[in-house]
Amino acid sequence: MNNLEGLHLDEISGRMYFSGSLIGRLNFSERNILCHMIHNEGQVCSKDELIQAGWKGRLVVPNSLNIAIKKIRAILSVAGQGSALETIPKMGFRLEKKTVSLIIHDIKDTDLNEQPKVGHIIKLANDGHADINESKQEKTGGTTFEPRPIIILFGCLVFCIVLTYIMDRFSPVVYCNDFSGTRFCGAEVIEERDISIQHQPGEEYFYGWIEGKGYVFYKVK
């Protein structure tokens, strides 16, 4: 890439180069948005058409386009071209002419080790639209990882052990005592002399210790 001058976008990898040096990488949606703006350089691209170009009919959060534009503009700024991507209020965005050139790969002669061709626009398919395909590997951002069953089983076992420890360590212990036909339950053992309230057989109370007040009793039945 050392022989490239100016700003270039690799249509396949999303890498952006300035004077042959890598300055950033766009994800699939960001790359498609920038490609669309390059095809329509100098013209205002509406938000709706850029969302369609970036996400192709998928539902996205309202701020997705702004985030993508911010990322593209940040990489352009590395090359001193941040202002070339203009925000047109209530209309959309516009990329100045001849800001970014595209590195074109000849898909028919699939040899990723060859020096890619350089051109100002991406190659078009027979129907006149940009032919930009997303691979499954690219969606995941690199090499896919498929966990083995033994790893999943080991992870579940560790989780169960940790969960059992937490439940055993932090589960409260409740003590219940019957005095004269009345049931008293609390977090510690009490004696009948600790009971400071009048009670009737068949009643149930929950008690707790409050500093400065002693045992406090709450009737639950």
- Position with higher pLDDT, 213 vs 73: 73
- Flag whether pLDDT at 142 surpasses 80: no
Report d(CA 109, CA 157) in Å as an integer: 50
- Note the pLDDT tens digit of each residue in 128-137: 333 434 444 4
- Position with higher pLDDT, 4 vs 93: 93
- Position with higher pLDDT, 214 vs 136: 214
- pLDDT value, residue 76: 94
The predicted model scores a pTM of 0.49
- Note the pLDDT tens digit of each residue in 18-28: 988 999 999 99
- Position with higher pLDDT, 62 vs 45: 45
- Note the pLDDT tens digit of each residue in 60-104: 887 899 999 999 999 999 999 999 999 999 999 999 999 999 887
CA distances from 33 to 10, 51, 98, 119, 198 (A): 13, 8, 16, 18, 78
CA distances from 127 to 10, 56, 124, 130, 168 (A): 22, 17, 8, 9, 66
| Structural domains for the chain | 7-139 (1.10.10.10), 175-219 (no CATH)
Report d(CA 88, CA 90) in Å as an integer: 6
Report d(CA 28, CA 13) in Å as an integer: 9
Q: Tell me the HSE value of 119 on the side-chain side, using a 13 A CA sphere.
A: 12
Q: Please return the burial class of 17, using the count of CB atoms within 10 Å of its CB with bins 0-12, 13-18 and 19+.
A: buried
Report d(CA 98, CA 40) in Å as an integer: 11
- Flag whether pLDDT at 146 surpasses 70: no
- pLDDT value, residue 149: 77
- Note the pLDDT tens digit of each residue in 104-113: 776 554 444 4
Residue 32: name the closest of 127, 116, 122, 161 by CA.
Answer: 122
Enter the tokens of residue 107: 């898909």
Placement of tokens 């008690």 in the chain: 207
- pLDDT value, residue 106: 66
- Note the pLDDT tens digit of each residue in 161-207: 877 767 666 555 677 888 888 998 887 778 888 888 888 898 999 88
Report d(CA 5, CA 22) in Å as an integer: 12
- Flag whether pLDDT at 139 surpasses 60: no
Residue 220: name the closest of 202, 201, 206 by CA.
Answer: 206
- Flag whether pLDDT at 122 surpasses 90: no
- pLDDT value, residue 140: 46
